[in-house]
Structure 1
Amino acid sequence: MLPALAELAEAEFMFRYESEAPADVRDALGLATTRMGGGVVLSMRHDPTNYWSKALGFGFDEPVNGDLIRRVCDFYRAERTPAAVIQIAPDRLPADWDGICARENITAGGTWVKLAAEIETLRPGRTDLRVGPVTDDLVDQWASVVLRCFGMPEEHLGPMVAASVRDPRFHPYAAWDGHEMVAAANLFIHGPMGSLNTGATLPTHRGRGAQSALLTARAAAAAEAGCRWVTAETGRPEPGASNSSLNNLLRVGLTPLYERRNWVWQADRAS
């Protein structure tokens, strides 16, 4: 049950991030979105970051099989998408997955860690910064902080992110140092699951507990909205390395559900 809730919450918030972009932004970025096989398929033909084209949420409403993955890849071919990432919970991969990958030009990429916890079991995070929800008049500033933290350009992506979080199922939060917004994070409500996503802090204010406190604030908001669990995902660090996002999630009490490989589809086979 938890893996399904966690995967589908992630799929839905990503779908809304991209499908609710203004028309001019959709045109500029070459955005196209669809629902397929119980999951979502998202294409950004002119993605300046190689992040936003992805397909996820599969294996719960319908089984993952060669026909489904062919249809996903056909969508990307029709949209002239250069590359995309397919994200599937490891226990949903079929026995013939290697053969499917060979047919569709899919290769193994990096690995993410999927985490979750019951809200009532979480430990509080603290910071000396002011933490709270982001009001509508500050959403554009919030989007700017998010994109700057992740090293993404604000042109087109700023209006896309800002438009999506005006959806009432999103609850953006931030941390301020005085009047300066220095960290940002988002909460997406999906039934009994709250998705803790889009957490980032400006380099000047890292190490001051902003994200731990933002996790605590969003978990409390999720509980108030009727959620029982929260979930998050982040990259698995390489051996000997560290991921501060993963450390923050573990510190407040989220626990790993599994590690999930990113499967990279590319339009052109290597010669």
Structure 2
Amino acid sequence: MKNMIDKSVSTSIEIVEREAWLDLVVAAPADYVESSKVSSARLGAMVGIADLGVPITEFNRILGLGIGKPVNEAELDQAIAWMNDNAAASFALQVSPTALPEARLVEWILERGFKNAGNGWAKLYRDSVPVVDQAVPTTLDVRLVEAHQAEEFGRVAQAAFGLPETIIPLLSAIVGRPNWKAYLAYDGDTPVASGAMFLDNKWAWLGVDATLPDYRGRGAQNALIRQRVSEGISAGVVGFTAETGQPPEGQEGSNKSFNNYHRSGFTRVYARRNYKFGI
């Protein structure tokens, strides 16, 4: 699939995701911060997030690298040093195709011993055109999560992702928080799938998309995406973004997450690379 990159769109995509993940970490309850050693920092235009209790890329990475303004070598070294001091060893430097300075940034990263890891992440985008009728009908019911259901939201997301139960307080903390909307899909009275939306400066980041194994293939994520986009448009959102793992070239059609967003009007605009040390 060919990249179609508009720099202003790319910048907005990276910024809203950066702010969403920073806010998620900032919202972490004090006991979770203590037990999981979760931390975050603004490093110029970049943000570093770290969680030693969940040593995977999503929770240990630099976001916004070279977005909005060029990064120099000193700033890159500062970011790497912060990650070395705070993050799991598998942390990633994430670099979009429009990161600045375009001609040198990847070269600097490679010189410091980092290597490209895997296919990267497909960054998805849609504008505020109204949603059409749902492509995959479902009998599941999507509901906005209330404050008293926060732990229920966290448990569904944790179980569906296969993450340790210790992360439930962190995932639960976004419920009722300013700029966040959390949703659950229900089979009767049973919550079976989750999704969240972070709104910032008329942009929305969609994430925490997870469905319990026994309920996959029943249209939960299509319904959750549709609900979030519809409510985002009503709230004045002009652009939506989300991401999935980038499938191998030519195999996008076999990736369920990719297809769920494609059916809902999203387009892959670029693949963002993950650079890791010592792989």
What TM-score, normalized by structure 2, do the two folds share? Answer: 0.89
Aligned in 2, Cα 1:124/1:58: closer, same or farther, shift over 3 Å? farther
Distance between the aligned counterparts of 2:219 and 2:235, measured in 1? 25
Checking the alignment, whether the CA contact within 8 Å between 1:48 and 1:153 is kept in structure 2 is no
- How far 1:40 sits from its partner (Å)? 0.8
Distance between the aligned counterparts of 1:163 and 1:78, measured in 2? 25
- How far 1:175 sits from its partner (Å)? 0.7
* 1:109 alignment partner, one of 108, 117, 123: 117
Matches within 5 A, 1:1-271: 1-49=8-56, 51-79=58-86, 81-93=88-100, 94-110=102-118, 111-125=120-134, 126-155=137-166, 157-238=167-248, 240=251, 242-264=254-276, 266=277, 269=278
Partner SS state of residue 92, structure 1: coil
Distance between the aligned counterparts of 1:188 and 1:98, measured in 2? 29
Distance between the aligned counterparts of 1:210 and 1:81, measured in 2? 32
Q: CA RMSD in A?
A: 1.8
Checking the alignment, whether the CA contact within 8 Å between 1:8 and 1:39 is kept in structure 2 is no
Checking the alignment, whether the CA contact within 8 Å between 2:124 and 2:267 is kept in structure 1 is yes
Distance between the aligned counterparts of 2:19 and 2:133, measured in 1? 27
- How far 1:165 sits from its partner (Å)? 3.2
Q: Which runs of 5+ in 1 are unaligned?
A: none
Partner SS state of residue 187, structure 1: strand
For these two proteins, the number of residue pairs brought into alignment is 266
Aligned in 2, Cα 1:184/1:66: closer, same or farther, shift over 3 Å? same
Give % identity: 30
Distance between the aligned counterparts of 2:155 and 2:217, measured in 1? 21
Distance between the aligned counterparts of 2:215 and 2:265, measured in 1? 23
Q: Deviations over 1:127-180 (max 9, x none)?
A: 21111211111111111111111110111x111111133312110011100110
What TM-score, normalized by structure 1, do the two folds share? Answer: 0.91
Q: Deviations over 1:16-43 (max 9, x none)?
A: 1112111121111111211112121111
Distance between the aligned counterparts of 1:11 and 1:112, measured in 2? 14
Q: What residue identity is the alignment partner of 1:167?
A: R
